[in-house]
Amino acid sequence: MSYLLEVLGRGWAGRLSRVFKDRLNRNPADPRELLEKRERESDSAELQLGLGFAWLHAGEAAKARDAFLESARLDGENPLARIGAACCCEQLGLIDEAGEQLSAAADLDPDDAAVQFGLGYCHERQGRRGEAITHYRGALRVCPTMRPARERLAAIFLRQNALAAAIDQYEHLLVEEPGDTDLCLTLAGLQLRHGQPQQAIELFERALTMDPDNWQARTDLVDTLEQSGLIREAIEHLHEMCERQPAFADTYVRLGDLYGRAGNAGAALKAYMQALDLQPDYLEATVKAGTQHLRAGRHLEAATFFSRAIEINDRLLVGYVGLGVAQHEAGKSEEAISTFDLAASIEPNSTLLYSEVARLQLKCAVQQEARRYLQAGPGEDTAPPADGIDDLIDRQIARHEQAVAEHPHHPDAHYRLGLLLRQRGRLDEAIDHFREAVRINPAYTKAWIKLGLALHDAHRDDEAIPALQKALELHPDYVDLHYRLGVMFANREQFELAVERFEKATALKPDCVEFREYLALSLENMGLIDRAKACWHRICEMAPHSPQAARAKAALRKE
């Protein structure tokens, strides 16, 4: 379900100006003050256009809009003035007027793909999905490779339960970007839901094969050099390989490993980061970069990389679970069980990484307490920090249990407590909390997967398989809810206003964590909030008086 709900969040451009950023980065030849002086002396369309850009760069959307409109009045054949006015109108919340300006620009140049996409974007935000489809297709007629247009079409088709049409869009996307794992997993999920398990099996297998953590580096000579203790020579050979074939991320990971063995931590981290530049979702490189930060005592940076690694590993889990479910639905029960075994074998990575992130948060807090104690003046009443950090996981479990007690209807609190309990080997308790998380929020994909794999580990496959199938189900009500939320989120000012009004109407406090967490979880389902950052924010809130918690709350409010 996770990747299918993400379909609903893909393709949103944010500000309309992002669609036209290559045209709006024009800088006026003269300062705004000089342009205003010239305007008083003589007026022209070009002068008004320059003023529009000057005001736009100064953050004055209303004044920029007036100047662009005046330029369009003076020169009715200039589509750029209409585009500028449309972007200003959208920024001011005038979506209908923005659409009118883009319609005028489209009349001047019907083959402008960005204008057609912008029109579709405006129509979709106003709930006119039929018109949106027409203009998104118009954009693709001019530019068949425009990914956002296909993504928004697929989102609308999924909302309409037109799975075949959504599949068609993602098939085109995968032709254009055959190495994109996310596209592969999404298309596999769509085909599974469309009753095509065999096609889904092939795509899930393809996605898992593409993942860099399944690659095997061909470095026999390097192996020989390393086994002979010739580390420097092995490093030199890998550098030569990188020069000859710079696009192979696994070579850089191997290089980082050798630098680590040689005691050069800086060079090791640099090599891992080069691997991540090539393959941002490379799990091994992400974990090893985090480990380098951890060894250097940079705990916050380590937690950031480990949080990202959790999300990468969970994506792998979606692939294996999807493959297993597709095999089960295709009648290949023995193969499905073997695939679930594979999923269960990599699932502990996420649990272990989450435990490490939770442990690092408390370690950061302990270090801050120590610094405050050491820096305290002679008259300050500051207690020394608590001794011992060996029981950090147990302390985090206690904090998570307290959070569950305070927010029993908060699904993510149950989910995170389940992760820690499972890491401690308390499988039955973990199952209970995963089950409670999905009872509260049936659209919580990660919790369904953790529940299913925990049940599989407990040899309760009669319960595990239905739970894993639930993880890939797509109930129309959930689709409609997430689609509407995505449209609201695209109208960022209206979204914030709606949240504020809801809180006031229900007499909730502005910093109510529970309501905002429900909202954040739905936005995460669609990929509209960075999951790795959200993971760290939530852990920090287990220590409500820490500096990290204050930053976390501020970040959650902002997102």
Give the Cα separation of 437 and 435 in Å (integer).
5
CB contact set of 519 (below 8 Å; sequence gap of 6+): 485, 499
* Ramachandran area for residue 383 (φ above 0: left; ψ -120 to 50: alpha; else beta): beta
In this prediction, residue 65 has a pLDDT band, given cuts at 50, 70 and 90, of very high
In this prediction, residue 247 has a pLDDT band, given cuts at 50, 70 and 90, of confident
Give the Cα separation of 467 and 445 in Å (integer).
10
Token digits of residue 507: 């007499």
C-alpha R_g of the chain: 27
The residue among 147 and 371 whose pLDDT is bigger is 147
Give the Cα separation of 76 and 389 in Å (integer).
71
Token digits of residue 401: 């249990």
Cα 456 off chain centre by: 28
Picking from 250, 301, 245, the residue whose alpha carbon sits closest to that of residue 258 is 250
CB contact set of 386 (below 8 Å; sequence gap of 6+): 366, 369
Q: What pLDDT does residue 1 have?
A: 53
Give the Cα separation of 83 and 491 in Å (integer).
19
- What domains are there in the chain, each with its CATH number? 215-280 (1.25.40.10), 478-558 (no CATH)
pTM of the model: 0.72
Summarised one tens digit per residue, pLDDT across range 485-544 is 777 777 666 566 555 555 555 454 444 545 555 566 666 666 665 555 555 455 554 444
Token digits of residue 52: 């529009």
Picking from 480, 465, 340, 321, the residue whose alpha carbon sits closest to that of residue 3 is 321
Summarised one tens digit per residue, pLDDT across range 125-140 is 888 999 999 999 999 9
